[in-house]
Each structure stands twice: as structure tokens, then as C-alpha cells.
Amino acid sequence: MNPTIAIRMVGADFLKLRKKRGTLIWALVLTLAPLLIFFIVKAVQHSSSPAEHSPAGGIGGYQDALRVLAFFFGPLAGIMIGTDGGAGDLAAGVFRDLVVTGRSRLALFGARIPAAVGLTWLVVLAGYALTLIGTYALSSGTPTPGGALVVNGLLFTLFSTGVICVVAVGFASLTGSRPAALTVLIGWQLIASRILENIESLGSSRELILSQAIAHFSPISLNDGHGPRGGEVVTMSTGAAVAVTLAWIVIFAGLGAWRTRTMDA
């Protein structure tokens, strides 16, 4: 398969995801609404009692908003879009039609990943733009993030949401059911992983939790001992964080590709 065909296949998958208005709208709501609520509530608190509440923007506001976007709701949007990308063809009943065209099943699976990640990043970029607007517009004269932190925050947000989205595509392709994949991944992201992060008896095995590996690359200081999602921070080397992240991507993408290649059309 030549690059032109590959680009067309990715573009077709991207178009299919973009046309699913329900998924796209809720992904945007899930990404933007929490940030709007955060900045509005913080701004009201600061205006009513400046001595007790810091400004909604500035460096402090940026760090809090980045936690909301990169660790909570951005990844959830990635899960929504990724599971739709991974199991959407089966749910729509068009997988058989795609197979009989003679296209490689692995190519069909491979096109899902960049399409889902691309759409996730567009949604997340809207959230990051809102973060920057709130950070600078509501700083009230306090120090604001420098260019390096802004760029690093953007790259980290894209990294965090992109990794989760790839895992979601692979897992949804493996299960063949978007509702099941969506339920399991959200349950893992919001509940199970946070519980495991706080079980000290698990020791260094907690390094295998994806959220811990992702948090290692955060441009926001987490030296207070608590992770951005409320769990405990597990100290690990950069090499270990890279290895864990790649392992999650390779395992779930590999399982999704295997299932796509072997399932009955």
C-alpha cells in the first residue's frame, strides 16, 4: 500500500469520526465545560474575596487548568473518540463491506489510530486555547506562564491524550464493542488506577500503571507527593516511564490489530 492510499484511508476514517456528531459534541463538552466552570468559579471567588482566593489565571490557574485538561477530561475525550474509532465500523455494520474491497485488515486497523488521535487533538487544542485565554485574561496582574511552559504544557497535553486515545482504539478493536470498551476504560481511568496508585504494598509494581508513566513527563511540579488525579506519585526513571508507555501502546495496538485481522467479517 502506497502513502497516497494510506493518507486517503486515514482521511476517510477521520471523516467518519467527525461526522459522528454525538461523539464529537460530547467530547467538546467534556473538554471545555469543566475548564469554563473552573475559571468562572475561581474568578467569582477571587472577585468576592481577593485576600482569601488567588486569581483564576496566572501560573497557579494555569497549572490547575492543565491538570483538569491533561489528566482528567482530555483523556476522557480521547477515550470517547478512540473507542468510537476502534469499534465504530463493527457497530455500524460496515466492517464486512470494507473487508470485501480487498484492503488489508491491518491497514484498516492502522488507519483508525491517526484518525482518532487527530480528532482528539483538535478537541484538546480547543481546550488548551481556552486554558490560555483564562490564564492570561484572569491573571489580575500576577505572574503568568512563560513561553517554554506554555509549549511544554501543550506538548504534554497532546502526549497524554494521544497515548490514551491509542490505547482506546486498540482495546475497542479487541472487544468489538464500543459500550464495553468505553465502560472499562473510563472505570480504569477514574477509579481502578487511582485505587491502585494508593496501595503502598504494591510497591514499585505501581510503575506499570499508565497514568504514573504519563505523569512522569508532566511540566507541572508534583513534588507534594500527590498525583494530579489525587493518587500517590510513584517515583520512576525516565527510561522506565518511556518503557511503560510504549508497552501499553504496543500491547493494546497489537491486540487490536490481531483481533481485526482474525475476526469474522
pLDDT of residue 88: 81
Q: What is the largest CA-CA distance in the chain?
A: 68
Q: Scan for cell 505501581, then name that residue.
A: 206
pLDDT under 70: residue ranges of the chain? 1, 93, 97, 102, 222-233, 264-265
Q: Scan for cell 489528566, then name that residue.
A: 71
- In this structure, the chain runs to a length of 265
Complete DSSP assignment for 64-111: HHHHIIIIIIHHHHHHHHHHHHHHHHHHHT-HHHHHTTT--HHHHHHH
**Phi and psi angles of residue 220, each rounded to the nearest 5 degrees, phi first:** -90, 135
Cβ neighbours of residue 150 under 8 Å, at least 6 residues apart? 132
CA distances from 259 to 84, 105, 115, 213 (A): 16, 10, 19, 26
What number of other Cβ atoms are within 10 A of residue 258's Cβ?
16
pLDDT of residue 78: 97
pLDDT of residue 225: 46
CA distances from 142 to 47, 55, 124 (A): 14, 8, 26
pLDDT of residue 227: 52
pLDDT of residue 126: 97
Query: To the nearest whole number, what is the mean pLDDT of the chain?
Result: 90
Judge whether 39 and 65 are in contact, CB under 8 Å.
yes
CA distances from 47 to 2, 57, 140, 205 (A): 59, 12, 10, 45
